[in-house]
Structures are given as C-alpha cells and as structure tokens.
C-alpha cells in the first residue's frame, strides 16, 4: 500500500443493548462503562491500526440498534468497507436478528454481492453466566452467511475485542486480494463495481 494510511469505514450493527458502543469504546479507548446508554442515531470514533505492515485509520460507526432509530442509522451504511454484525450470547433474539441486520445493511449500503463483502460476526458478553446462544450455533450461522469469521467477545473484560476489529481489516484485505486474482474477460475485477452494485430486497 506504498506507505499511505488508508481510511476504512467500519459499521457496527446489531440489536439495541448487545454492546456495540461498549465494544467500540473498549477497542478505541480501552474503557468499559457498565451504565452505557442507548445510542441515538450514530456516533463514530477513529483508531489507527497496523495490519501486516499496512496502516489504516479505522473510522468506526456505532449505530443505534433500537428499531425506532432505523431511519437515523441507515443513511450511514453507504461507503462502508466492512461491517461488524453483533449479537449478545445471552439474548437469543439478537442472534435470530442477524439475518435481518445483514439484509438491512446490504440494502441500504447498496451492495448486491453480500458473499464478497467483508462481514465479521461478534457474539458479545461471553463473560455472562447465563449464556443462551452456543458457539456452535453461531458458527453454523456464519458458515451459511458467506463463511464470515466469528469472534466471541466481551467488551467488559476485553476478550477478543482487538482481534475481532482487526479481523475486519484482514477480511477486507483477503477479499480484495481474491477479487484482484479472479479474471473476468481477461481483466481483473473492479471490487467497487462488484460489491457496490444495487441490492434488490430488504425487510
Ligand atoms: N456483561 C457484559 N455487559 C456488557 C458487555 N458489553 C456491553 N455490556 C452492557 O450492555 C449494556 C448495553 O451496552 P451498549 O454498548 O450500550 O449496547 P449497544 O449495542 O450500543 O446498544 P444501542 O445503543 O441501544 O444499540 C450496557 O449496560 C453495557 O454495560 C459485555 O461484554 N459484557
């Protein structure tokens, strides 16, 4: 990447209360607030990272997961480079809603080829005692959604948080490399054209 810092737009999605703001604050500031309030609309924070000698500024967009804020968050999906879909392992509904979040993202980000878009899935709050969603079920869902990488995280005790965010950058790099290597009529594929053509549905 010739020594330049690349700006990456990373969107955090998932049901209200699964811990998106907490994950962002843990990753960016290494802090945790047990009284974290619901986000209204969107907020973003930047963090500089280095992955395999390339430097990036991750611009992390933390969205409001509550249904009533849908119209406030969806305009911010466009131009995303990767998306972290988050559920809480003690909230089965937040896990069931992953498919809805993935569809909502692809539709409003205007992306047709979801399989070739870098999603990373986070099962958050693994520190809790009353876990309901198993890692096995979560991995099965990820396999059915383009083999997205899965991380079990805790914003509270910092388990796997850095790894999960950095995995989004790695996934993006991996997919860019794959697309560059895949010939189409003798030429390489333009990743932007493939990944950002219009999606057809959303509920
Ligand atoms: N035990 C535990 N609690 C957590 C963890 N992450 C977040 N929480 C708590 O869960 C609650 C909701 O966290 P938030 O980060 O505000 O959740 P959110 O997904 O941003 O919620 P919205 O803004 O409504 O979309 C807060 O009380 C947090 O302290 C975690 O890893 N473990």
Write the CATH number for 144. 3.40.50.300
- Confirm whether 198 is domain-assigned: no
Ligand 1, atom 13: closest residue by C-alpha: 19
- Determine, yes or no, domain membership for 136: yes
Structure tokens at 121: 């899935």
Q: How far are the Cα atoms of 6, 35, 129, 187 from residue 80, in angstroms, in the given order?
A: 13, 29, 34, 25
**What is the 21 CA–ligand 1 centroid distance (Å)?**
7
Q: Name the one residue in this structure whose structure tokens are 């059915």.
A: 144
Ligand 1: which residues within 6 Å by Cβ?
A: 14, 16-22, 34, 36, 38-39, 64-66, 124-125, 127-128, 154-156
Predicted pLDDT of residue 177: 87
Q: What is the DSSP string of 80-116?
A: -SEEEEEEETT-HHHHHTHHHHHHHHHHHTT-S-GGG
Q: Is residue 201 part of a domain?
A: no
The total of structural domains in the chain comes to 1
* Domain enclosing residue 171, as ranges: 6-181
From first to last of its 203 residues, the chain has per-residue pLDDT tens of 456 889 999 999 999 999 999 999 999 999 999 888 888 888 899 999 999 999 999 999 999 889 888 999 999 999 999 999 999 999 999 999 999 999 999 999 999 988 899 999 999 999 999 999 999 999 999 999 999 999 999 999 999 999 999 999 999 999 988 888 766 554 444 445 444 444 443 43
Contact 108, 75 (CB under 8 A): yes
User: Is residue 91 in a domain?
Assistant: yes
> Is residue 194 a part of any domain in this protein?
no
Q: What is the pTM of this model?
A: 0.89
Looking at residue 197, its pLDDT comes to 44
Q: Is residue 147 part of a domain?
A: yes
Do the domain assignments include residue 187?
A: no
Helix axes 161-181, 20-29, angle to 10 degrees: 90
Q: Which residues pair with 10 in a beta bridge?
A: 60, 82
> Does the residue 14 lie in any domain?
yes
Contact (Cβ atoms closer than 8 angstroms) between residue 87 and residue 152: no
pLDDT score recorded for residue 198: 41
User: Beta partners for 8?
Assistant: 58
d(CA 119, CA 142): 9
d(C-alpha 31, C-alpha 34), whole Å: 10
């Amino acid at each position: 990447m010739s020594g330049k810092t690349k700006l990456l737009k990373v969107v955090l999605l998932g049901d209200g209360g699964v811990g998106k703001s907490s994950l962002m604050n843990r990753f960016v500031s290494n802090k945790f607030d047990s009284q974290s309030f619901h986000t209204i609309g969107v907020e973003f924070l930047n963090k500089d990272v280095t992955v395999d000698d390339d430097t990036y500024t991750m611009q992390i967009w933390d969205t409001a997961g509550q249904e009533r804020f849908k119209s406030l968050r969806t305009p911010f999906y466009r131009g995303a480079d990767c998306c972290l879909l988050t559920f809480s392992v003690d909230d089965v509904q937040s896990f069931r809603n992953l498919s809805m979040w993935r569809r909502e993202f692809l539709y409003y980000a205007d992306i047709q080829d979801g399989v070739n878009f870098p999603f990373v899935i986070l099962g958050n709050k693994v520190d809790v005692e009353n876990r309901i969603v198993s890692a096995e079920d979560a991995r099965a869902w990820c396999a059915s959604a383009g083999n997205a990488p899965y991380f079990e995280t805790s914003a509270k005790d910092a388990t796997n948080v850095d790894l999960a965010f950095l995995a989004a950058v790695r996934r993006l790099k991996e997919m860019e490399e794959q697309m560059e290597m895949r010939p189409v009529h003798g030429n390489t594929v333009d990743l932007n054209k493939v990944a950002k053509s219009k999606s057809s549905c959303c509920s």
